[in-house]
Structure 1
């Protein structure tokens, strides 16, 4: 997913399995067929969309990295029996800079008119 998100952030077209294999070559010794299998499974699970390009498939993420992380965080929050306590603990665990981001985001939300 990271390779695909990075390509998308850089404005590149959707990636083939070969593109992903090349990008991962420096990090790991993975067989090309393994990369193809993982991409296919991610597409079947709805994380990626794919389109035919000649004999190859081109893959791109359905959601941005930020949206994916948001869904993970909401899923974790839904697993707790006490959302308020979990949120309070989370806020106490982040850095001052992150608290500033949270404050700015909340200020932006509260300053907007509610939808009619």
Structure 2
């Protein structure tokens, strides 16, 4: 007996990234059906709405009323979405300093140098008070 091939199940983060990528290629705000179609139609309409609503809650997309439904616009790219996830995790911790310290000490040397350079640039960009 041959095994039936089932489509690979994608994780929430992967689906969110796919939806964001589709919206970033859009010529403007788009409806849920448009997003569903660009994803290949493999996801149920309600699943696409759920993903868009999660992205809205994370600040990665915006929506506006259009007739009886909504149109969606990306507010963040994949890097922005990852940053939002990181911030949400950090905001959920009581000892932010300890979490940040562990994060920094766990970075690869190249990543640590990038972070140092970014922090320096951010410090230079802030007006003196």
* Band the TM-score falls in, shorter-chain normalisation: 0.5 to 0.7
Q: Is the 8 A contact 2:22 2:39 kept in 1?
A: no
1:17/1:106 Cα in 2 relative to 1: closer, same or farther (>3 Å)? same
Aligned to 1:92: 105
Tell me the secondary structure at the aligned position of residue 49 of structure 1: strand
Q: Distance in 1 between matches of 2:126 and 2:64?
A: 39
Q: Is the 8 A contact 1:51 1:59 kept in 2?
A: no
Q: Distance in 2 between matches of 1:31 and 1:77?
A: 32
* Aligned pairs for 1:63-78 within 5 A: 63-65=75-77, 66-78=79-91
Q: Distance in 1 between matches of 2:25 and 2:121?
A: 28
Q: Does 1:48 align with 2:62?
A: yes
Q: CA RMSD in A?
A: 3.3
For residues 72-110 of structure 1, give each alpha carbon's deviation from its aligned partner in whole angstroms, at most 9, with x where no partner exists.
323322322322221111112233332222111111133
1:94/1:9 Cα in 2 relative to 1: closer, same or farther (>3 Å)? farther
Q: Does 1:25 align with 2:37?
A: no
Say which of 20, 31, 42 aligns to 1:5.
20
1:99/1:64 Cα in 2 relative to 1: closer, same or farther (>3 Å)? same
Q: Which TM-score applies when normalising by structure 1?
A: 0.64
Q: Which TM-score applies when normalising by structure 2?
A: 0.59
Aligned to 2:119: 106
Alignment size in residue pairs: 111
**Structure 1 gap ranges (5+):** none
